[in-house]
Amino acid sequence: MEAEHLKEKVAIVRYDGTFDSFAKALKLCNGLDGLKANDKVLLKPNILWGGTKPDPPYGRVTTSIIVGYVLQMLRDRGCGDITIGEGAIPNKELGSTTVQGFDWSGIGKVARRYGAKLIDFNSEPYERVELDGVRVRISKWALESDFLIDLPVLKAHRQTKISLGMKNLKGCLAVKSKQRFHRHDLNKMIALLNMKIRPSLTIIDGIYGLEKGPDFLGIPHRMDLIIAGKDVFSCDIVGAMVIGILPKEVEHLRHFASLTGRSVSLEGIEVLGEPIDHVAQKFEWNLSVEDLFHHAGVSGITIQEAGSSCCSGCFAILTALTAVFTKDNPDTDLDGVEICVGSQVRAKEDSNKVFLLGDCALSANKDVKEAIPIPGCPPQILNTVMAIVLKSLPRRKAAKTLMWRAAKNIGMKVGFYHEAFPVFGVCEPPEFDEMHF
């Protein structure tokens, strides 16, 4: 009996479209224990990108309806000092900022409704800390809050297998520190970060889940689940099992277990509400960008898996390139083109033409003769698209492609043209509901 009492409680509740199902999850896991009305409360959603409304947010970002429920709950408890913080992928060329991300996700509108402050973790102030000898900067907002509520999405991840509560805290870092995580052991660094930042409550937003995540190349699924608990490690173990990924195969969970002397299993966890096997689905976590080109009929191209060395900035450029190139040039044979990205990829000897996307790829392939460099950290999408189109397609086709792409971009900027990219998938109602954002 005493052992049962010591177990960490994790609730799984089916979301029925009401605040009541959300409240039930928090009640089951005693999620509000320790919360005081005068606490400095920080919410850390997963916004990922400062996109625009036409981009599909489903499964990619925390729903604003869940954030609204949290804010309503906090106001009902008398909390007045509430902040929402995030550090979205910054990209001036594509217009991505954290502020834009708050608006795109709908979280900004909900925050204003409840009077919560919005903070960009990509800006000061930071505290400098060392994680196993690696110097990083962590937002002081995350370190100095009294009650931190971690609000990840139910995602699989191409580099870390899952992107749940522990991975979501990487968004509290300065941009350069996020990049540093990828240059070292990403999974180990995530575990060490969670020794510094300890959420008081984790709520995994599973209204939508994302297979092959974490971004627009992933496949969203309607799940209608809320997973909540006070211990982020336990929530991530349960969340991993809900999307069919074995916790013991998730490296950052194993690292954290080693650091804390815990088990990467349900040992020590009490699952309340829905049993895991009643709600679990099997998600694939690995994504092959090369396969996405092949599915569009683009042959003769090689894109090796970048491993954990490729940071979000470069992968955002690769994502944009994939969307544009496969839309503009379906059923095209590139005859031995290779695109290298990240510091772990070495160009294959039999590739006829090698593109080195980003500074890390350039550094890793200095000895590759006649490789075409696309420098930057990250490189510009315009330079990337132009280089690959001009150097991989016949001259006439390349000119036509760039002309049409320029015309489309002008149309989108002035607002009379909207373009859908098939590679991002089709998210149609009623399964995918805009009212959640």
Is residue 1's pLDDT more than 50? Answer: no
Over the stretch 345-396, which tens digit does the pLDDT of each residue have? 999 999 999 999 999 999 999 999 999 999 999 999 999 999 999 999 999 9
**Alpha carbon distance 225, 233 (integer Å):** 18
- Which token pair is 78? 């008398």
Over the stretch 221-271, which tens digit does the pLDDT of each residue have? 999 999 999 999 999 999 999 999 999 999 999 999 999 999 999 999 999
Q: Compute how many other C-beta atoms are within 10 angstroms of the C-beta atom of residue 399.
A: 13
**4 band by pLDDT with thresholds 50, 70 and 90:** low
Cβ contacts of 62-65, under 8 Å, gap ≥ 24: 62/105, 62/107, 62/151, 62/152, 62/153, 62/205, 63/106, 63/205, 63/207, 63/208, 63/436, 63/437, 64/105, 64/106, 64/107, 64/109, 64/110, 64/436, 64/437, 65/207, 65/435, 65/436, 65/437
- pLDDT for the residue 5: 57
Q: Please name which of 329, 363, 368 lies closest in space to residue 348, comparing C-alpha atoms.
A: 368
Over the stretch 98-141, which tens digit does the pLDDT of each residue have? 999 999 999 999 999 999 999 999 999 999 999 999 999 999 99
* Mean pLDDT of all residues in 430-434: 95
Beta bridge partners of 226: 13, 205
* Mean pLDDT of all residues in 279-283: 98
Over the stretch 42-82, which tens digit does the pLDDT of each residue have? 999 999 999 776 778 999 999 999 999 999 999 999 999 99
Is residue 410's pLDDT more than 90? Answer: no
The alpha carbon of 116 is separated from its chain's Cα centroid by a whole number of angstroms, namely 23
- pLDDT for the residue 309: 86
**412 band by pLDDT with thresholds 50, 70 and 90:** confident
Is residue 194's pLDDT more than 90? Answer: yes
Q: Please name which of 116, 165, 158 lies closest in space to residue 292, comparing C-alpha atoms.
A: 158
Q: Please name which of 289, 322, 324, 286 lies closest in space to residue 303, comparing C-alpha atoms.
A: 289
Q: Please name which of 231, 214, 298, 243 lies closest in space to residue 270, comparing C-alpha atoms.
A: 231
* Residue 312 CA neighbour count, 13 Å, CB half: 29
Of the listed ranges 51-60, 252-261, 322-331, 332-341, the least confidently predicted one is 51-60
Q: Is 300 left (phi over 0), alpha (psi -120 to 50) or beta?
A: left
* Residue 275 CA neighbour count, 13 Å, CB half: 2
Over the stretch 145-182, which tens digit does the pLDDT of each residue have? 999 999 999 999 999 999 999 999 999 999 999 999 99
**Alpha carbon distance 177, 136 (integer Å):** 5
SS3 of the chain: CHHHHHCEEEEEEECCCCHHHHHHHHHHCCCCCCCCCCCEEEEEECCCECCCCCCCCCCCCCCHHHHHHHHHHHHHCCCCEEEEEECCECECCCCECHHHHHHHHCHHHHHHHHCCEEEECCCCCEEEEEECCEEEEEEHHHHHCCEEEEECEEEEECCCEEECHHHHHHHHECHHHHHHHHHCCHHHHHHHHHHHCCCCEEEEEEEEEEECCCCCCCEEEEEEEEEEECCHHHHHHHHHHHCCCCHHHCHHHHHHHHHHCCCCCCCCEEEEECCHHHHCCCCCCCCCHHHHHHHCCCEEEECCCCHHHCCHHHHHHHHHHHHHHHHHCCCCEEEEEEEEECCCCCCCCCCCEEEEECHHHHHHCCCCCCCEEECCCCCCHHHHHHHHHHHHCCHHHHHHHHHHHHHHHHHHHHCCCCCCCHHHCCCCCCCCCHHHC
Is residue 413's pLDDT more than 80? Answer: no
**189 band by pLDDT with thresholds 50, 70 and 90:** very high
What length is written for the chain? Answer: 437
- pLDDT for the residue 2: 42
Q: What is the chain's alpha carbon radius of gyration, rounded to the nearest angstrom?
A: 22
Over the stretch 17-42, which tens digit does the pLDDT of each residue have? 999 999 999 999 999 999 999 999 99
